[in-house]
Chains A and B, each alone.
Chain A
Amino acid sequence: VTLTLALPTGRIFEETSELLTRRGVRLPESARAGRRLRIEADPFTFVLAKDRDVPTYVEHGVADAGIVGADVLAESRPDVFEPLDLRIGGCRMVVARPASRPPGFYRDLSVVRVATKYPAVTTRFFHGRGIAVEVIPLAGAVELAPVLGLADVIVDLVQTGGTLAANGLEVDEVLFESTARLILNRASFRLKVESMRALLYRLEEERVR
């Protein structure tokens, strides 16, 4: 039985393909070239997708399984199984404020303006604490927003914090640690039990080491 595996071409692509290679799941060279988006390499068919599209493919079942960051899952909350934390692509989802402002300063504002690529995560976090928020959705370069006075703080994924520092920002609070997850389509999990299990155990073995 062939399994269709959706892989994220963004931030965690390198780490993902290294992990797969270590576990004997060979990703053809053509996947790296980045032109072909659907590659057959028995017993897998790889689908190379935008990070945020991976859960969509898996939820619809056009991919049986996928690898995607927990940040993306937190934002889109797809109805899929998430059996495995692959412990790669580690990042932190944070609130960051201008370094010139004191920690937690935004709590004194009646409405906090937050620039982010993660509007759902942001709204849940601030509303959960009873803080009114004006979400300013951006597609990238979120760090720019406080610099230009568009937002008071940002909610974003941070790896080293280098970009934050370069734009005069620092971490105010960590929302959660984000690592890559293996996600499975609910129907495929029932219908392709053996291959799904095999994939799961194979990737899990990696993690135990």
Chain B
Amino acid sequence: MTRRSLLEIPSGVQCFFGEEARSRRDIERVVADVFRGWSYEEIVLPLFDFDDVFTRGGEVSSGDRIYRFIGRDGEVMALRPDFTALVAKVVSSRLARQELPLRLFYSGEVLRYQPPRAGRQEELFQIGLEHLGTGSVAADVEVILVAREALSRLGIDDAVFTLGHVGFALRLLSGIEDLGTRALALEALKRRDRDGLRRVVGAPALDLTDLSGGAEVIERARRAAGGCESLDRLEAIAAELSALGLEKEIRLDLSEVRDFDYYTGLVLEIHARGSGLELGGGGRYDSLLGRFGREMPAVGFYLSLDRASELLAKRGITSPDAAVSTVRSLREALAARKRGERIVVKP
């Protein structure tokens, strides 16, 4: 048997120190302040729960990426791979009597097995919010405004918000009877693999993989595939955002369906130049709460603290550090601290 050194680390784990740790703490604080400014209340969620909270709660596509263990009473438990299912559970139980809409935010790590690839660690730090109990366009727009303000307070003023609506693509694919075939089509769509999609569904009137751009894509989709609620809804959201001055920051992409199967409406991806990976994302999930016994519409998003921190570092945006005064004794230290100074004790 080979002995493992005590210093060896398991794959996927990481630690942060120095400037990076400071920056992460600052980011968390700035974003939380913005969330509170819009009256989102913090909710501190458990690190693990029964496995089926996440699998039945919608984490299906990443079901095989969950860290599981057997709890003390023999139940299968899971380290949280996602916050949204936990929020849905708490809102359906502990917060069942609170007045709607509920505005909640969370901040912490989620854990998933990840293939060792592009910036994907197994611990991911997410700060996100959920707006529950309102199905309106106004709620969809509100969460995008909050996301934009949070990024802009961090110094990221050029974020691009890509909006889609899962209802549109799913309507077009719902004609495929065979579930296996439909799953293949969806996979091809996620990769924007036009030829792959054609092999599955034949050549359609509308190229589903190429529906991104400005407001005109909605018109194009409508002409080719007929109008529907999803298109009207997305159009209304985009119009409202434009009216509020965000026209340049938003793009539409009707091909976007995201990875979680619980989304039912708006889907959102956030990118900014200099980061090859998404800074955040989210969407509307009107049927998730029903799985926990309390039907209600909901919309939310998360920001990746890891990627925001990397991007800020790349752009050279650092949080200024307070000046330090050196004191010679602990007595001096107490006095200086009373004045609120940052000190270092060097006897």
Contacts and interface: CB of A to CB of B under 8 A. Distances in A.
Interface residues of A, number: 23
B170 to A, nearest CB: 19
Nearest to B161: A190
B210 A83 contact: yes
B14 to A, nearest CB: 17
B273 A191 contact: yes
A78 interface: yes
A53 interface: no
A78 B276 contact: no
- Give chain B's interface residue range (CB within 8 Å of chain A): 20 to 34
Contact of B192 (A59, A62, A83): A83
A20 to B, nearest CB: 20
Q: Is the interface of A mostly helix, strand, loop or mixed?
A: mixed
Given A190-B162, A191-B271, A61 B191 contact: no
Contacts of A79: 117-118
Contacts of A193: 212-213, 251
A193 B269 CA distance: 15
Contact of A78 (B117, B194, B195, B278): B117
A83 B190 CA distance: 10
Nearest to B270: A190
Interface stretch (A34-42, A163-171, A180-188): A180-188
A191 B160 contact: yes
Interface in B180-214: 191-196, 209-210, 212-213
A60 B160 contact: no
Contacts of A56: 117-118
B277 A61 contact: yes
Interface in B106-145: 115, 117-119
B194 A61 contact: no
A187 B307 CA distance: 13
Contacts of B152: none
A134 interface: no
A62 B276 contact: yes
Contact of A188 (B119, B210, B276): B276
B272 interface: yes
Contacts of B213: 193
Given A78-B117, A83-B210, A193-B213, A187 B193 contact: no
Contacts of A62: 276
A80 interface: yes
Nearest to A79: B118
B39 interface: no
Interface string A139-172: 0000000000000000000000000000000000
B275 interface: yes
B280 to A, nearest CB: 12
A61 B276 contact: yes
B339 to A, nearest CB: 46
Interface in B228-263: 251, 253
B189 to A, nearest CB: 11
Nearest to A62: B276
A184 B191 CA distance: 10
A91 B137 CA distance: 50
Interface in A176-202: 184-191, 193
A186 B160 CA distance: 12
Interface in A42-87: 56, 59-62, 77-85
A187 B212 contact: no
Contacts of B194: 83-85
Interface of B: 115, 117-119, 160, 162, 191-196, 209-210, 212-213, 251, 253, 269, 271-273, 275-278
What are the 8 tightest A-B residue pairs by CB atom distance, in nearest-first order?
Answer: A61-B276, A81-B192, A59-B118, A85-B195, A187-B271, A83-B192, A190-B271, A82-B193
Given A84-B195, A190-B271, 6 more contacts: A59-B118, A59-B276, A61-B118, A61-B275, A78-B118, A191-B272
14 contacts: A59-B118, A61-B118, A78-B117, A79-B117, A82-B193, A83-B192, A83-B210, A84-B195, A187-B278, A189-B212, A190-B162, A191-B272, A191-B273, A193-B213
